[in-house]
Chains A and B, each alone.
Chain A
Amino acid sequence: MSERETSVLESGTTGKARKVGNLKPALQLGVDHDLCPGCGEPLALRCLLESIEELGCSQRAIGIVGIGCYTALTPLMDVDLVQALHGRAPSVATGVKRMRPDGLIFALQGDGDMVSEGLQEVIHTAARGEAVTCVLLNNGVFGETGGHMTATTVLGQRTKNSLEGRDAAYHGHPILIGDLLAQLDGTAYAARASVHDAAGVARTKRVVRRALETQLEGRGFSFVEILTMCPTGWFLPTAQGPDYLSKVLGNVHVVGELKRDGRYTPTAELRARAGA
């Protein structure tokens, strides 16, 4: 990979470029991937890898990866990985954790994987208080198949199998998975964040780190939902992705901490606070 790809150049008043730092996370093997322009998943991955490194856990992290677009990122992740079947990452993570209790174990799944196909896996893993961190990359569509409805697709959202927009009477309602998990006694930490802008990325990293710390402190199950852009699956111009994410998906799946220090804050309350 070239310096150009991995460095940020700062333009001073002189107009001369100056290298200010190599921003590729140390646990990332390269920068070349096959995901679409405007995809939010590489940003989410970056938050995760940087957090693992900053916590000093590079040599004890084991990731369990589901099946979705983000699976194409696994060759870039310089941590030990286990590739799971669609929907099954939480149970695989359970087996890994029980045999490697000192490991920092995280599962990475999309909304189709975690909330549609494998919903009961994540719920039971949380209920058991399994000391693993489940990370959900939520873009409200099956991105890899080309933009189909998932269990988190919001009402009105157009997908290839809800062409006129998701209709509650016909397609049912989206699941707010964070709320389901946050209410379980085994869940020690649950948060929702979004990578639609720089502040969102910074918040995402903060909650990912808290979730991983929760695990390291042995306090139980931790969960982070990261809202990610999918302009391809939303049939939008790339540049409109961040806005659609924050205004449409983000209006239903509202960002904030759903469970912290034993206290559950429902999404409805987060929404009321955001509106106030």
Chain B
Amino acid sequence: MTRRLMEGSEAIAEAAIAAGCRFFAGYPMTPFTELLESFAKKLPLVGGVCINAESELESVGMAWGALATGARAATGSTGQGLALMQESLSEITRAELPLVVFNMARGQGDYFQATRGGGHGDYRHLVLAPIDVAEATRLTQLAFDLADRWRNPVLIYGDYLLAHTAEAVEIETLRFDPLPPKDWAVDGSLGGTGRSRNVNPIGMLKGHKGIDPEPFWKRLQAKHDEMARREARFEAEQVEDAELVVVAFGTLARFARTVVRELRREGRRVGLFRPITLWPFPSDALRQAVASARRVAVLEMNAGQMIDDVRLAVLGSRPVVAIGGISSDSAGFGIGPLLDSENVRERVESALAGREVSA
């Protein structure tokens, strides 16, 4: 394998196919469109299927069906399209289907949607937020593994820059531990045997009338609790002696990292904490990372969403200040002044000095 210059969308589609994804359905929407285009181009070459669905409601429904057969399948959109999918996303979680869903978001305003979800009932998705194209190719493969391992949807939170920036990457096929067979998947073969399957989100069993929701929901809750304990991922850089720890995710963390490294070279005691999983939020790790800090600064491109999780992690032990804010181009695609390391530097320096940062 050699390094190739590829846009994020293309690299992610290749990584998904390398992970065994054979079905994709989507509805065009900027900046997700190129991911759909890449799957449409590449999946047929490996015997897979990519459908240009009539809406996001159908995209997620088609992926649901493909997943029920045991295939690795994915869908995606922007946050707007994911808003349409929410009913299915919550029910797919209860049907315990291993969906991978991409949000090529317009900025970072979909943090709540990604981590809390807008669907009904109690449910959780693992949420991975890659910092760049290279990491996206690894996290995409990890997403398919985690989805199968937990039989639970995994959401990849990307954005305009991740989707459209061309970077030189090498897509190495990652190896994971063996997975249990998908004996729950429908193939029709057990019809008439009395052991036919029913892939459903309500805990329904063949041969048993009615449903018993409470024990079913409690079992899912226990699974989600276990996911929360075991799957938190993060990256911490130069936090050991930091007076100020900057918390940022995704593309914006890349800008924060540049600034933190620059300030460190100048002898300033700043560090970076980057959640790689937005859910589960790496709370324990963050609590440890801020041990020496006087202050925690949250850089996110929205009105203040991840800051809630940071505050819950830090539990009032030290001040948590917002240094990000709403920032966008005129199209609303999430390309704004915050994506400017000089601007970010100014904000980090203000937080370091204990000054207020206006959004």
Asked if B23 and A99 sit within 8 Å, CB to CB, the answer is yes
Return the CB mask of A74-93 against B: 1 if under 8 Å, else 0.
11011111111100101111
Q: How far is the CA of A207 from the CA of B51 in the complex (A)?
A: 30
Q: How far is the CA of A53 from the CA of B191 in the complex (A)?
A: 10
Asked if B206 and A95 sit within 8 Å, CB to CB, the answer is no
Q: How far is the CA of A82 from the CA of B207 in the complex (A)?
A: 15
* A79-B196 CB under 8 A given contacts A30-B207, A34-B209, A99-B22: yes
* A91-B186 CB under 8 A given contacts A32-B209, A82-B199, A96-B68: no
Q: Of the 9-residue stretches A6-14, A57-65, A149-157, A230-238, which lies at the interface with chain B? A: A57-65
Q: Which residues of A contact B204 (CB under 8 A)?
A: 74-75, 83
Q: Which residue of A lies closest to B50 (CB)?
A: A98
Asked if B191 and A99 sit within 8 Å, CB to CB, the answer is no
Q: Which residues of A contact B53 (CB under 8 A)?
A: 91
Q: Give the distance to chain B from A3, nearest Cβ to Cβ, in Å.
A: 19
Asked if A60 and B191 sit within 8 Å, CB to CB, the answer is yes
Q: Does B187 contact A (CB under 8 A)?
A: yes
Q: Which residues of B contact A256 (CB under 8 A)?
A: none
Q: How far is the CA of A100 from the CA of B65 in the complex (A)?
A: 10
Q: How far is the CA of A124 from the CA of B54 in the complex (A)?
A: 7
Q: Does A94 contact B (CB under 8 A)?
A: yes
Q: Of the 9-residue stretches B87-95, B102-110, B229-237, which lies at the interface with chain A? A: B87-95
Q: Does B69 contact A (CB under 8 A)?
A: yes
Asked if B191 and A100 sit within 8 Å, CB to CB, the answer is no
Q: Give the distance to chain B from A272, nearest Cβ to Cβ, in Å.
A: 34
* A78-B206 CB under 8 A given contacts A60-B191, A85-B91: yes
Return the CB mask of A6-37 against B: 1 if under 8 Å, else 0.
00000000000000000000110110111000
Of residues 150 through 206 on chain B, the ones whose CB sits less than 8 Å from some CB of chain A are: 186-194, 196-202, 204-206
Asked if B191 and A83 sit within 8 Å, CB to CB, the answer is no
Q: Give the distance to chain A from B153, nearest Cβ to Cβ, in Å.
A: 15
Q: How far is the CA of A94 from the CA of B57 in the complex (A)?
A: 13
Of residues 74 through 128 on chain A, the ones whose CB sits less than 8 Å from some CB of chain B are: 74-75, 77-85, 88, 90-100, 103-104, 120-121, 124
Q: Which residue of A lies closest to B71 (CB)?
A: A99
Q: Give the distance to chain A from B27, nearest Cβ to Cβ, in Å.
A: 11
Q: Which residue of A lies closest to B199 (CB)?
A: A82
Q: Give the distance to chain A from B211, nearest Cβ to Cβ, in Å.
A: 9
Chain A at the B interface: mostly helix, strand, loop or mixed? Answer: mixed
Q: How far is the CA of A208 from the CA of B49 in the complex (A)?
A: 29
Return the CB mask of B25-65 against A: 1 if under 8 Å, else 0.
10000000000000000000000010101110111011111
Return the CB mask of B77-96 against A: 1 if under 8 Å, else 0.
00000000001100100010
Q: How far is the CA of A104 from the CA of B192 in the complex (A)?
A: 14
Asked if B197 and A91 sit within 8 Å, CB to CB, the answer is no
Q: Which residues of A contact B194 (CB under 8 A)?
A: 29, 78
Q: How far is the CA of A64 from the CA of B202 in the complex (A)?
A: 15
* A98-B49 CB under 8 A given contacts A79-B196, A84-B64: yes
Q: Does B208 contact A (CB under 8 A)?
A: yes
Most buried by A among B23, B62, B65: B65
Asked if A120 and B67 sit within 8 Å, CB to CB, the answer is no
Q: Which residues of A contact B67 (CB under 8 A)?
A: 95
Asked if B62 and A94 sit within 8 Å, CB to CB, the answer is yes
* A85-B188 CB under 8 A given contacts A79-B196, A99-B66, A121-B58: no
Of residues 1 through 42 on chain B, the ones whose CB sits less than 8 Å from some CB of chain A are: 22-23, 25
Contacts A/B (CB < 8 Å), 15 sampled: A30-B207, A32-B209, A72-B210, A75-B209, A79-B188, A79-B192, A83-B198, A85-B87, A91-B53, A94-B51, A94-B58, A95-B64, A100-B186, A103-B188, A120-B54
- A sample of 20 more A-B contacts (CB under 8 A), given A84-B64, A96-B69, A121-B61, is A27-B192, A29-B194, A29-B207, A33-B209, A34-B210, A57-B191, A60-B188, A74-B200, A79-B192, A80-B190, A81-B196, A83-B202, A88-B64, A91-B58, A95-B61, A95-B65, A95-B68, A103-B188, A121-B54, A124-B54
Binding site for A on B (CB under 8 A): 22-23, 25, 49, 51, 53-55, 57-59, 61-71, 73, 87-88, 91, 95, 186-194, 196-202, 204-210
Binding site for B on A (CB under 8 A): 26-27, 29-30, 32-34, 52-53, 57-62, 64, 72, 74-75, 77-85, 88, 90-100, 103-104, 120-121, 124
